[in-house]
Amino acid sequence: MKLASMATLIAVVGAAAGGAGAAESAGGLALGAKVPAAVAKTKMKNVDGKMLSIADVTGKAGTLVVFTCNHCPFAKAWEERIVELGNTYAAKGIGVVLVNANDPAMHPDDGFEEMQARAKSRGMKVPYVVDDTSGVARAFGASVTPEAFLFDKAGKLAYHGTIDDNRQEPDKVKARYLKDALEAVAAGKKPAVPETKGLGCGIKFRG
Amino acid sequence: MPIALLVASLMTVEAGTPTRVDVAELPAIVAAIKAPGAQAVLVNVWASWCEPCREEMPDLVRFYRDHRAQGLRVVLISADDDDQRAEVARILGALGFDGPAFIKRGNDMSFIDALDPKWKGALPATFLFDGHGVRKRSWLGAVTYDDLRTRVSGLLNRRKR
């Protein structure tokens, strides 16, 4: 379908609502915001057993924080691409950390040992840490897995959203949102598309 | 049995018969939401592997059965992959759902923003539209029968006594 006619359809259902809908939760860090001070130095256990904070992994060119997990089919579908981007841009000066904020009591697959196994099998060269109170995810306003937050070298949120436009068929991706944003931030530029959305699993917040 | 109840029970798909599930992009989904004849339309986005979605589904289907005679339409949209179509049909059939059901294809962002721009895409999510397609309410997370009754009943035709 042509983009213009799709926009018309969205206007019919979406804009006709005109804000009448009362969303029960929404939000997330605003573009330009910094990592919330309350959690920037929160230590989280990495799959190698060491304790790391987002401040510890901050890169010279920027910092990428991705909320993800083991069990979610959406996160799994994008996992290979997330790891590849993380490994690639970590070598280009972007600090990268993958964060699992899910309560493993709700999904045993999201437990620490399973994270270690996943990190090994996927060849992760970047930290994959446990947000063991879900407090970091809450402070970010993260609600979905996977959900990416990319900060520029000044520490300001430059990109927030999903990975690309085709979860199911990697070879048919047309818009590589996160890759393009990483490329821009690594080059000291603003991403052309700073905010996106994708379907995902709700984060299984701990108590 | 009163005639109205008898007719309603005959119209209900026998539990266990797979529900018809269409693989569709946004235009077909919007058409199903906006089709004339409903006083209120509940749109639920779910997936077969999503536990909170599966937990709320019996309440949603029961609410639909109890209120469709008053003008309620329920549109169920699965985020499953296409190859799960038979499983999606089986799950909904087991609950006796006979309304419009889809597996969503196409761009996520257009889909999300069409239902509610404030929604970030987490499953499950449920949206209430009036009969003119105007969104009245969003539940970003699981819903219960009582949640729905509180918000939806005011849009529906009164029960005939």
**CATH number of the domain that residue A154 is part of:** 3.40.30.10
**What pLDDT, in 10s, does the model give residues A158-168?**
999 999 999 98
Give the residue, A2 or A38, on which the prediction is more confident.
Answer: A38
Closest CA to B151 of B160, B143, B141: B143
Give the mean pLDDT of A127-140. 97
Residue-averaged pLDDT of chain B? 90
- Of A18-27, A56-65, B110-119, least confident by mean pLDDT is A18-27
pLDDT value at position B159? 67
Tokens for A80, please give them: 């290979």
A200 and B123 in contact by Cβ < 8 A?
A: yes
Classify residue A169: in a domain, yes or no. yes
Q: Is residue A12 part of a domain?
A: no
| A127 vs B157: which has the higher pLDDT | A127
**Residue A4 pLDDT more than 90?**
no
* Total count of domains within chain A: 1
Distance from CA of B128 to the nearest CA of A (A): 8
Determine contact: B122 vs chain A, CB below 8 A.
yes
pLDDT tier at B160, thresholds 50, 70, 90: low
Average pLDDT over every residue of A104-108:
92
The share of chain A scoring above pLDDT 90, in percent, equals: 85
Chains A, B: CB contacts within 8 A come to 123
Whether the predicted pLDDT of A24 surpasses 80: no
> How many whole angstroms separate alpha carbon B104 and alpha carbon A78?
18
Query: How far apart are the CA of A201 and the nearest CA of chain B, in angstroms?
Result: 5
Q: Residue A21: its chain B contacts at CB < 8 A?
A: 116, 118, 127-128, 135-138
Q: Find the DSSP H helices in B38-101.
A: 51-67, 85-94
- Name the nearest CA neighbour of A155 among A80, A65, A91, A89: A65
Q: Which domain holds residue A153?
A: 47-202
A193 found inside a domain: yes
- The tokens describing B1, both together, are 């049995």
Pairing of strands A128-130, A44-46: antiparallel
Residues of A in contact with B50 (CB under 8 A): 201
What's the average model confidence in pLDDT over A94-116? 96
Q: Which residue of A has its CA nearest to B127?
A: A21
Confidence check: pLDDT of A28 > 90: no
Asked if the Cβ–Cβ distance from A196 to B109 is below 8 Å, we say yes
ipTM passes above 0.85: no
> Given a cut of 80, is residue B3 above it in pLDDT?
no
Q: How confident is the model at residue B15 (pLDDT cuts 50, 70, 90)?
A: low
CA-nearest residue of chain B to A14?
B114
> Of all helices (H) and strands (E), which one includes residue A1?
none
pLDDT for the residue A61: 97
Min Cα separation B51/chain A (Å): 10
* Per-residue pLDDT, B10: 42
- What's the confidence (pLDDT) of residue A27? 61
Domains of chain B: 20-155 (3.40.30.10)
Residue A111: band (very low, low, confident or very high) from pLDDT cuts 50, 70, 90 = very high
B119 to chain A, any CB pair closer than 8 A? The answer is yes
Mean pLDDT for A103-129 is 96
Is the model's pLDDT at A113 over the cut of 50?
yes
Chain A residue with minimal CA distance to B31? A9
Q: What share of chain A is helix, strand, coil (3-state, %, to 5)?
A: 35, 20, 45
- Confidence at B157, pLDDT banded by 50, 70, 90: confident
pLDDT of B130: 95
Asked whether the beta carbons of A151 and A186 are under 8 A apart, the reply is: no
For residue A15, being part of any structural domain is answered with no
For residues B98 and A190, what is the distance between their CA atoms, to the nearest angstrom? Answer: 48
Q: What is the per-residue pLDDT for A124?
A: 97
A143 close to A199: Cβ distance less than 8 angstroms: no
Residue A115 pLDDT grade (very low, low, confident, very high; cuts 50, 70, 90):
very high
Which residue is associated with the tokens 């510890």?
A: A56
The rounded percent of chain A whose pLDDT value lies above 70 is 87
Q: At what angle do helices A3-10 and B26-34 cross, to 10 degrees?
A: 30
Q: A179-199, pLDDT tens digit by residue?
A: 999 999 999 999 999 999 999
> What would the two tokens of residue A182 be?
């990483």
CA-based nearest residue to B119, from B141, B95, B94, B143: B141
Give the model's confidence band at A138: pLDDT under 50 very low, under 70 low, under 90 confident, else very high. Answer: very high
| Among the partner residues A18, A106, A200, nearest to B121 by beta-carbon distance | A200
Starting at the earlier edge strand, list the strands of the sheet with A200-202: A144-145, A200-202, B122-123
Answer whether residue A168 is part of any domain. yes
User: Which helix (H) or strand (E) is A74 found in, with range?
Assistant: helix A73-90
CA distance A20 to chain B (A): 5
Asked if A197 and B118 count as a contact pair (C-beta separation under 8 A), the reply is no
Q: Taking Cα atoms as reference points, which of A26, A29, A52 lies closest to residue A40?
A: A52
Q: Find out whether B17 and B90 touch, Cβ atoms under 8 Å.
A: no
Task: Give the one of B81, B120, B134 whose C-beta lies nearest to A17's C-beta.
Answer: B134
**Chain A contact probe: residue of B84, B112, B126, B135 with most A CBs at under 10 A:** B135
B137 contacts A22? CB cut-off 8 A: yes
- Written as six digits, the tokens of B108 are 């996520």
Q: Which amino acid is at B67?
A: H
Task: Name every residue whose Cβ is closer than 8 Å to that of residue A158 and which is 6 or more positions away in sequence.
Answer: A31, A62, A150, A151, A152, A181, A184, A185, A190, A191, A194
Instruction: Please give the Cα distance from B49 to B79 (Å, whole number).
Output: 10
Contact B53, B124 (CB under 8 A): yes
Q: pLDDT tens, B75-118?
A: 999 999 999 999 999 999 999 999 999 999 998 999 999 999 99
Residues of A in contact with B143 (CB under 8 A): none
Rg (CA), chain A: 17
pLDDT of residue A18: 33
Nearest to B38 by CA among B158, B159, B156, B161: B156
The pLDDT of residue A1 is 42
Split at pLDDT 50, 70, 90, the class of B129 is: very high
Q: Which residue has the higher pLDDT, B16 or B124?
A: B124
Mutation target for B interface from A197, A203, A205: give the one with most B CBs within 10 A: A197
